[in-house]
Structure 1
Amino acid sequence: MQAKETLFADLVQGRAQQFQVPLYQRTYSWTEKQLRQLWTDILEQAELLESGEKASTHFLGSVVLAPSPQNEATFPRWLVVDGQQRLTTLSLALAAIRDHIADGEPDEAERIDEEYLINKRKNGSDRLRLLPTQADRAQFAAYVRGPLSEQAAGGAVAAAYGFFRRKLVEAADPAAPQDVLRIEEAITSRLTLVAVTAERADNVHRIFESLNNTGLKLSQADLLRNYLFMRLPTRGEHIYETYWLPLQDSLSNDELEQLMWLQLVLDGDDRVRRQDLYAAQQQRFERGEVSEAEIEAYIKELYRRGALFRRLLHPEKEANEAVRAHLHRLDTWQAQVTYPALMLLLDRRQRGELDSADTARAMSYIESFLVRRMMCRVPTNNLNRIFQAVPGQLPLDVAVADGLHQLLSAENRFWPDDDELREKVRTAPFYKFGRGHQRKMVLQRLEESYEHPEPVDFATAQLTIEHVMPQSPGDEWLRMLSEDVVDGESAEDLHSRLQHTLGNLTLTAVNSELSNHPFERKQGLLQGSHLEMNRRIATTERWGADEIRARADELADRTIALWPAPLRGVGRAERSRDWNLAHQVLAALPHGTWTSYGDLAAFIGSGAQAVGNHLANTPGVANAYRVLTSEGKVSDGFRWAPQDAGGDVRARLSDDGVRFTAGGAADPAQRLSADELASLVSEADDPADSEEDTTQSAPESQGEETDADSFYLQLVAENSPERRFFRELAEDNSPGTVEAVRGLLARWEEIGGTVYHPGGTKASGSGAILTLEEAGAPDSVISPMGFTPGCGLGGTAYLDFQWLAVTEPSARPALRAEFLRLLNELEGIDLQEREPGRGPAPSFPLSVLEKDRNRELLVEALMWVRDRWESRD
């Protein structure tokens, strides 16, 4: 590459040439804020020219260019890899100057046109010296070539041109006129650029990536779009016009990014974070040579799913009434966290795997899952993970709606049953649960359940939640409550216990009129209400504890009828496709090898105990007995699965070539790690290893990954940092410490936390970070603790107090001190708080977790942090 400082005039003047903004670039997006700042800089330079001062020029930024594939010796064409916003803006400013002086100084206008804007002897799109991305091309050409009457109205290009025309009129104010040609000179010869020019052999995408993959300039969707269209040299125009441009026009950039992330999730990547979208999709495409047909297939699928995604954003676009009603309610709930599951249902319906009735039924399970958890105050911080995992965990052997019901009913999903729901409706302070719009929606659905012949139009009614027994009761209320107290409880205590329960809440448009008045006065107002639930309250003679509980029982019955219950007896949710893969890799174990529960668990992203339970209860799993403890011994809890042949395990292992040490353990040299298990699957599924290679003759439209390839690529992408952490942990810590850490991480996830494993490169090292995230707000996160595997000194747990000191609620010194006190209850730990940023972070060795009591105390301390996080102001 070559880099040099240049001026706009030097860059674009001279021989005929063209600067092409590639299809993959985002559209022109400068707003008036950037335009005003540029105009100020231009006027400043024009004044310096007028005064004759030899002041420095103004640095505008960089432009990165590369030879276009359409380059010709007689007509150079350059790809604008970076800097298109600046070039487009300056071109529009010059077009505005040209048009401003066209009547009075036509020769100067023609000069500006020919020097900076057009290639005089070229036709068609070649006539434009700057060729914007296709979405902006027609409008830009209208301003450069005219006539303006043919331009499309609106858009950023039109706004920028109009801005400069207005400012030029201001500059011509007779009271203080400014020379327009001085302004032109300032633009072309006083605004400096650094032009970076790549050679043909340079990888321009890597240049672009290094300039823009900082999360500041371009979004993940921008980067991925650029990446895709850079790999479509021959079919890019057609694909852009047919699929990408309509998709881009129908969604905002943020929505498009969300759709791209959902596509990854639907295709099986259930752990990718949205901020890692670009890297994850790039990693998939770069697992081998990707053809244009494969990228086209990806964009066509994105286009198809875009129509489905718009129904989530705009439920009124859904034709089926029942499905539309569920989408409306989930939209009202602000349940974006459920999008992976909703997209899966709409996708499967479009593929013919379920009809609209079953789609609505499946959505009722999702709605019930959210509502019941909110009413029973189940923490929401694991909802992202639950719904993101749905595509990968959905059972394969049952219908979609039934499978979703089964999946959400798993015991580690915490979907409250009828008994728990009924109890919470009767006793829990519903008014303090969830968010206001969610509480209001529950009450609205309960009102609708009465099926009044003239239902209220909730879209226009100005309804708020009303406490029938007021929050600040007067003497009359307290006297009535004193009649209901038992066991020495005071009226104030009874009021405090019942005031926020669902039985005491309703909807009304006259909240201020009801106020804290006695019940007799409220009765009249409620009697005249259009809501059936209010008229029923008004028929009651008094409103005390018994009446509130009776109404709660009635509403509980309606709640149970409206929102279906989970299935009973469903175990933990596991990834069904991963179990299939576990069976495949066990069947592929070479003679004379074995693996451990921990290795197999790391390979499929589960837990060692879950692996053991699955193998013990699943008949017909080949080589299940060759899964041993990390010490190479048969687990004390090992049992043959029902219907399996059984026999002496050690004898079977010996027959399979597994050697044993003098201590009775399987030879550790024959143990296969998680990475080695992954290599077994990749070798078995590699088409190149088959007797006949059919990939050359297969049509391009069939160039898709096999399921096994997808599994392997997914596991490599998802688990390599996790595997590296546990491999390094095992290298530098005892087996007992490794298993203790595994158990602790699993327990953290069970109580609603997330475990993040950094990239784990040789440069950065590996680790495990415990985090808590707010559902639907991935930027709202706290990390109470992290683990490092050790570098010859044993693994360490550390507290990042510099982060905790600026993150609510841990920013409060008293809370950090209490967290340290809880940790210091562990045997062998004595942590002292240091001022954030001063000295090393408080830490302790992971080996202390080998003691059961220490693990229990640490979990209690982490649950304390979780509770403070969830109840934060």
Structure 2
Amino acid sequence: MSEWITDSQDEQNFEGLLRDADQIHIPIFQRSYVWRQKQLSELLADIDQVRSEVEETQFMGAIVAYEKPRSGNTVGRMRALEIVDGQQRILTLYIFVMAVVECIAPIDKEEALELVREYLLLAPRRGLDINTRVVPAFADRSQFRIIWDRINSPSVLQSELSEMQLHLPPPSGEADGDLVTQYYRILRHLRAESHADLDEAGNFLRETVAVVTRHLSFVHLKLTDASAATKIFERLNFRGVKVGVVDLVRNEIFASLADNQIKAQRIFDHVWRPFEEAFVGRAEYFFFPYCLIQDSNTRKSELFMQLRASWKGLTPEQMIKDMKPLQGPFLAIDQTGHQPGSKEISKRLERLVRLRRPASIYPYVMSMLLAFEDASITEKTVVDLLDALESFLVRRAIVGLEPTGLHAVFKGLWLQMKKHTVSEFKRQIKIRPTIQWPNDADVRGAVEKRALGRANICSYLLVEYDRDMKGDNPPLSPTIEHVLPQTLSEDSEWANLFTKEQHKQMKDLLANVVPLSSPLNSSLQDSPYSVKKTRYKKESMFTTPRDLASKWSSWGPKSIEQRSKILAEWAVFRWSQSL
């Protein structure tokens, strides 16, 4: 190839990749092939740019891989790569060559067989159980065989392949899916573009396979260790779904079972899959706090390295068993808000989940809940500590402090606390001069003056105030109703009560907002207070609007000032510092 896109020594094409590696493996439980028409159309456009000589090369991004340990049973040189990122591109190029083989075989079987030898199959040798140049993940192997059955058919190359002793991966996964569908799309494209004249059709197919194997380039990043993957995988996306930590973890867990499909499938189905599915799509966020609990100095870029170090010498079952005790505590603070065996702890966890707690507190809360499950601390201790944590977080949110810096506080806090008491928790916060726990005056001032109606904390405050009023406690999440409307029409009754400056200062105060159901809120809009008051009393499922309507016959600047003071006193009492 005469011209690369980059000046990297690691830029290469599909042909070069197969020259460096005898076999390319997709991790056995990697996600299935997911490229569809959109990605194929983009690839075909790249190929056309080269065929039409608009471009000499088209760049396809980065392939990330590391060398697999050599199997002792295989005779001769055998270098195998494990793909960390790039399986969609590798599989697409591979089946593209297969499609060219199927199309060119009726024209020239020897040429088709040469393509198989060069790009698709390894020569037979002792100890080589699978001799395809690419070995897909378990989820795609049945489809992979279906495509190969087309090549190994009497009308294509069955007799010619007999001497090569085709050894395919055992079938697994669905027989119908995106991989087979994509292959048929490629076939249709090649047949549609091929000329009726056999010589011209052959030339088209030769040109196409030359572009696919030699003129589509990528940077091949060779990892010395798979643990380096997390340092780069987030930045290595190209027309596909990025590799996640959960994919890397799954690959690491099952790497030792790549040659034992039956055992790997059994552990995957009965141990790993239930474990991963229990996260309900949130597994990606579990591993960092899990690592921090083991070593609070772990950085996100070192996450996978830490996992590998902690699992050294463990079997797949032992790795999963090691994580299992912290799965429940993670789910409790991340989404369920439920602690088995304790209504009081669950009540506080549910509030923290609704509060949209920062992820930085996860290691602290998970360690606390694990200690409770191990009976190392009492229910009262957990309740007191969660109340103190909520007070700290809510007060900061009320005054508008960002969660910046909290990671450093909470990542190792549980082990740093000499005693697991509220006083020790407060002491740990106090010794960090850059972390503020707002006092009563700060909270009062924020409630009375800050535009909390626009703050993220607003919905939480409205629900908690409504619940403290001992009302009906509706299960629905409320919408935020501005009693004084957000826009001030000059011809409205509101314009007679508020100046433009007063409207600007007061419309988003906490005192001016109440929780309402979405239908009632939408129907009120900028109605005058006389209308709103009547409908609050008759139609609101929330206690707060009914209470406001009964206490204030009119709604003007003084009403908002009065209610602001009431809410300020409630907030400093509700999230007291003297717990």
TM-score scaled to structure 2, two decimals? Answer: 0.67
Give the match's secondary structure for 2:460.
Answer: helix
Q: Is the contact made by 2:338 and 2:350 (CA closer than 8 Å) also made in structure 1?
A: no
Q: Is the contact made by 1:466 and 1:505 (CA closer than 8 Å) also made in structure 2?
A: yes
Matching of residue 431 in structure 1 with residue 448 in structure 2: no
Q: Give the drift of 1:303.
A: 5.3
What CA deviation, in whole Å up to 9, does each residue of 1:405-443 have, x standing for no partner?
664577854333556534543x223436633xx212211
Q: Is the contact made by 2:74 and 2:125 (CA closer than 8 Å) also made in structure 1?
A: no
Q: Is the contact made by 2:35 and 2:182 (CA closer than 8 Å) also made in structure 1?
A: no
Structure 2 partner of 1:78:
79
Structure 1 partner of 2:481:
465
* Match for residue 376 of structure 1 among 387, 399, 414: 399
Q: Is the contact made by 1:65 and 1:196 (CA closer than 8 Å) also made in structure 2?
A: no
Output the CA distance in 2 between the equivalents of 1:108 and 1:312.
63
Q: Give the drift of 1:543.
A: 2.8
* Match for residue 506 of structure 1 among 497, 501, 514: 514
Matching of residue 334 in structure 1 with residue 371 in structure 2: no
Output the CA distance in 1 between the equivalents of 2:400 and 2:264.
48
Structure 2 partner of 1:266:
293
Output the CA distance in 1 between the equivalents of 2:236 and 2:140.
22
Q: Give the drift of 1:526.
A: 1.9
Give the match's secondary structure for 2:79.
Answer: strand
Output the CA distance in 1 between the equivalents of 2:28 and 2:549.
64
Q: Is the contact made by 1:470 and 1:515 (CA closer than 8 Å) also made in structure 2?
A: no
Structure 2 partner of 1:88:
91
Structure 2 partner of 1:19:
23
Output the CA distance in 1 between the equivalents of 2:142 and 2:423.
52
Q: Is the contact made by 2:364 and 2:411 (CA closer than 8 Å) also made in structure 1?
A: yes
Q: Is the contact made by 1:121 and 1:127 (CA closer than 8 Å) also made in structure 2?
A: no
Matching of residue 390 in structure 1 with residue 413 in structure 2: yes
Matching of residue 127 in structure 1 with residue 149 in structure 2: no
| C-alpha distance 358-95 of structure 1, shift in aligned 2 (>3 A) | farther
Equivalent position amino acid for 1:38 in 2 = L
Structure 2 partner of 1:37:
42
Give the match's secondary structure for 2:81.
Answer: strand
Matching of residue 530 in structure 1 with residue 552 in structure 2: no
Output the CA distance in 1 between the equivalents of 2:486 and 2:575.
32
Output the CA distance in 1 between the equivalents of 2:408 and 2:224.
33
* Match for residue 553 of structure 2 among 529, 541, 544: 541
Matching of residue 169 in structure 1 with residue 188 in structure 2: yes
Equivalent position amino acid for 1:431 in 2 = L
| C-alpha distance 294-353 of structure 1, shift in aligned 2 (>3 A) | farther
Moved more, 65-74 or 121-130: 121-130
Equivalent position amino acid for 1:456 in 2 = P
Output the CA distance in 2 between the equivalents of 1:135 and 1:317.
36
Q: Give the drift of 1:266.
A: 1.6
Structure 2 partner of 1:301:
322
| C-alpha distance 564-217 of structure 1, shift in aligned 2 (>3 A) | same
1:672-691 aligned at under 5 Å gives the runs none
| C-alpha distance 71-165 of structure 1, shift in aligned 2 (>3 A) | farther
| C-alpha distance 398-553 of structure 1, shift in aligned 2 (>3 A) | same
Percent identity between the two aligned chains:
15
Output the CA distance in 2 between the equivalents of 1:181 and 1:213.
41
Output the CA distance in 2 between the equivalents of 1:428 and 1:20.
63
1:439-838 aligned at under 5 Å gives the runs 439-453=458-472, 455-459=473-477, 463-468=479-484, 472=488, 498-508=506-516, 509=518, 510-511=520-521, 513-528=523-538, 529-539=540-550, 540-556=552-568, 558-560=570-572, 563-567=574-578
Q: Give the drift of 1:506.
A: 1.2
C-alpha root-mean-square deviation of aligned residues, in Å? 5.7
Q: Give the drift of 1:70.
A: 0.5
| C-alpha distance 566-189 of structure 1, shift in aligned 2 (>3 A) | same
Output the CA distance in 2 between the equivalents of 1:112 and 1:196.
27
Q: Give the drift of 1:396.
A: 2.8
Matching of residue 349 in structure 1 with residue 365 in structure 2: no
Equivalent position amino acid for 2:515 in 1 = L
Q: Give the drift of 1:495.
A: 5.9
Give the match's secondary structure for 1:77.
Answer: coil
Unaligned runs of 5+ in 2: 1-8, 151-168, 238-242
Structure 2 partner of 1:787:
none
Matching of residue 366 in structure 1 with residue 371 in structure 2: no
Q: Give the drift of 1:87.
A: 3.6
| C-alpha distance 181-347 of structure 1, shift in aligned 2 (>3 A) | farther
Q: Give the drift of 1:521.
A: 3.0
| C-alpha distance 130-322 of structure 1, shift in aligned 2 (>3 A) | farther
Equivalent position amino acid for 1:465 in 2 = E
Equivalent position amino acid for 2:94 in 1 = S
Output the CA distance in 2 between the equivalents of 1:236 and 1:321.
45
Q: Give the drift of 1:502.
A: 2.4
| C-alpha distance 251-27 of structure 1, shift in aligned 2 (>3 A) | farther
Output the CA distance in 1 between the equivalents of 2:343 and 2:231.
45
Q: Is the contact made by 1:429 and 1:501 (CA closer than 8 Å) also made in structure 2?
A: yes
Output the CA distance in 2 between the equivalents of 1:92 and 1:317.
48
Task: Name the count of aligned residue pairs.
Answer: 527
Q: Is the contact made by 2:253 and 2:319 (CA closer than 8 Å) also made in structure 1?
A: no
Structure 1 partner of 2:235:
216
Q: Give the drift of 1:371.
A: 1.9
Q: Is the contact made by 2:511 and 2:564 (CA closer than 8 Å) also made in structure 1?
A: yes
Q: Give the drift of 1:159.
A: 2.2
| C-alpha distance 6-101 of structure 1, shift in aligned 2 (>3 A) | closer
Output the CA distance in 1 between the equivalents of 2:382 and 2:230.
45
Q: Is the contact made by 2:293 and 2:367 (CA closer than 8 Å) also made in structure 1?
A: yes
Output the CA distance in 1 between the equivalents of 2:128 and 2:339.
41
| C-alpha distance 476-212 of structure 1, shift in aligned 2 (>3 A) | closer
Equivalent position amino acid for 1:434 in 2 = A
Output the CA distance in 2 between the equivalents of 1:497 and 1:57.
60
Output the CA distance in 2 between the equivalents of 1:94 and 1:314.
46
1:227-242 aligned at under 5 Å gives the runs 242=267
What CA deviation, in whole Å up to 9, does each residue of 1:622-654 have, x standing for no partner?
xxxxxxxxxxxxxxxxxxxxxxxxxxxxxxxxx
Q: Is the contact made by 1:373 and 1:414 (CA closer than 8 Å) also made in structure 2?
A: yes
Output the CA distance in 2 between the equivalents of 1:340 and 1:10.
42
Q: Is the contact made by 1:268 and 1:392 (CA closer than 8 Å) also made in structure 2?
A: no
Q: Is the contact made by 1:65 and 1:81 (CA closer than 8 Å) also made in structure 2?
A: yes
Structure 1 partner of 2:70:
69
Output the CA distance in 2 between the equivalents of 1:503 and 1:128.
72
Q: Give the drift of 1:555.
A: 3.6
Q: Give the drift of 1:534.
A: 1.2
| C-alpha distance 375-110 of structure 1, shift in aligned 2 (>3 A) | same
Q: Is the contact made by 2:230 and 2:245 (CA closer than 8 Å) also made in structure 1?
A: no
What CA deviation, in whole Å up to 9, does each residue of 1:740-791 have, x standing for no partner?
xxxxxxxxxxxxxxxxxxxxxxxxxxxxxxxxxxxxxxxxxxxxxxxxxxxx
